[in-house]
Amino acid sequence: MKPPLEPGYTISAARPEHLEALAGIELAAATMLKGHAPASVLEESTPRAKLVRAQEEGRLWIALFEEAPVGFALVERLAEDLPHLQEMDVIPDHGRRGLGTALLDTVLDWVARAGHRQVTLTTFRNVPWNMPFYARRGFVEIPPHELRPELAAIVRDEAGRGLDRAQRVVMMHRTRGSGARRRPE
């Protein structure tokens, strides 16, 4: 059984009216990574068109505090069979309340319902709330020589934007069972 969220917090599918708040959430969360990533990367936010498409396709979830967005999780489809957790952020003032875990659980539930066998992500190897958090949730590192071309392209893109490859890790979480593919709800 999943632990309940603190009073006032909920996780839901993103609605169009939530999208405007996401860049601010992303930039606020990036402040936690000062010293781990170049300033230029910390000043980036996901393009609105990508967020709109993900919201319309049911691949974007929001953490709300009393109806105000305070976190989100975004899944991209790198290939038909390769969902990738591209972004997951929580405003630092709302951190350490289980929102990251609740967002991740929501993503993993969607991945399983959609009939995918796995979900991938990239994260920081040596940041305590990154790789160790995902490892505790069942993610395992994918060795560089085993990366699919879509994931290798993400690693190259990150390196081209100034992220140190030695400090980055590609991870995967396998879903239970293999069931037939079906559309997410």
How far is the CA of 91 from the CAs of 6, 13, 24, 99, 105, in angstroms?
Answer: 15, 18, 9, 10, 18
pLDDT tier at 92, thresholds 50, 70, 90: very high
pLDDT tier at 178, thresholds 50, 70, 90: very low
Residues facing residue 76 across a β-bridge: 84
Of 57, 85, 56, 53, the closest CA to residue 72 belongs to 85
Whole-angstrom distance, CA of residue 154 vs CA of residue 163: 11
Q: Are 105 and 63 in contact (CB under 8 A)?
A: no
Residue ranges covered by each domain of the chain: 9-174
pLDDT tier at 1, thresholds 50, 70, 90: low
- What is the tens place of the pLDDT at every residue in 102-130? 999 999 999 999 999 999 999 999 998 89
Rounded to 5 degrees, φ, ψ at 180 are -70, 150
* 9-174 classified as CATH 3.20.20.410: no
Whole-angstrom distance, CA of residue 155 vs CA of residue 86: 12
Rounded to 5 degrees, φ, ψ at 20 are -60, -30
